[in-house]
Amino acid sequence: MDSYENAAVIVSGIDADELGHSTPCPKYDVAGLIDHLVEAGHRAAALGRAGTPTGDESPHVELSDAPRQLRSAAEQAAQAWGDDSSLSLTYTMPWGEEYTGTALVDMYLVELSTHAWDLARATGQIEELDPSLALPTLEGARAMIKPHFRNMVEPGAPFGRRSTQLAVLTTGSASLPLWDAIHGERSSLSGQRGAEPSIVMAS
């Protein structure tokens, strides 16, 4: 559950006077994206427990409590998805597509990691991101963003063009271009709610 801890670290580094800052998610400022990130973490755990998607409304979370909630959600998700049988089951999402539990776990890796990137970018914490998550997040995004998902709403939305940055970067600040490639890959994934269902990569 490294993606949860990565998000908790970034949220822990946010000051109260940064809550109104804009983020790369056009629909969210920092405060709103924290709320959404915490809700997404709980949603991933709930899906593993019940096998049924929940709504995507994001109750307000106090900044001081958000890291604790993310870590609590990590524990719940680890329990919910810890059984191999839950990973092998097939889940039907509200938009009609079916995914295995393994695929859903990968989706939430992408969601939590990319939103942590959004918050890090908005609050000057890019170098605090866990570099070990960059490559699996990029690979996960590419696996789940099918060609027909791109430009469904309008050019560049909900997903932009495939990023051409293919550098294999694994340590320290060398991973920063890879995080940027993730953002380029999903483009306006964040904030384009029209094509977004109640689960994956909602931002």
Going by C-alpha positions, the residue among 148, 168, 143 that lies closest to residue 158 is 148
Domain containing residue 115: 2-195
Residue 201 included in any domain: no
Helix/strand/coil (H/E/C) assignment for every residue in the chain: CHHHHHHHHHHHCCCHHHCCCECCCCCCEHHHHHHHHHHHHHHHHHHHHHCCCCCCCCCCCCCCCHHHHHHHHHHHHHHHCCCHHHHHCEEECCCCCEEEHHHHHHHHHHHHHHHHHHHHHHHCCHHHCCHHHHHHHHHHHHHHCCHHHCCCCECCECCCCCCCCCCCCCCHHHHHHHHHHHHHHHHHHCCCHHHCCCCCCCC
Residue 200 included in any domain: no
Which domain CATH number covers 78? Answer: 1.20.120.450
Residue 150 included in any domain: yes
pLDDT for 51 equals: 64
- Say which residue the tokens 């059984």 belong to: 83
The total number of structural domains that make up the chain: 1
pLDDT for 81 equals: 87
Residue 104 included in any domain: yes
155, 47 contact by CB (below 8 A): no
pLDDT for 173 equals: 44
Global pTM value: 0.77
Q: How far is CA 104 from CA 97, 121, 174, 177, 201, in A?
A: 12, 25, 28, 26, 10
Residue 164 included in any domain: yes
Residue 78 included in any domain: yes
pLDDT in tens, the chain (203 residues): 799 999 999 999 999 999 999 998 888 999 999 999 999 899 888 888 776 656 667 889 999 999 999 999 999 999 988 888 888 888 877 667 788 888 888 888 888 998 999 999 999 999 899 988 888 888 887 777 777 766 666 665 556 666 554 443 333 444 555 556 555 555 433 333 222 322 233 33
pLDDT for 43 equals: 84
63, 35 contact by CB (below 8 A): no
**Distance, CA of 43 to CA of 47 (rounded, Å):** 6
pLDDT for 143 equals: 77
Residue 203 included in any domain: no
- The two tokens of residue 154 are 């309008």
Residue 95 included in any domain: yes
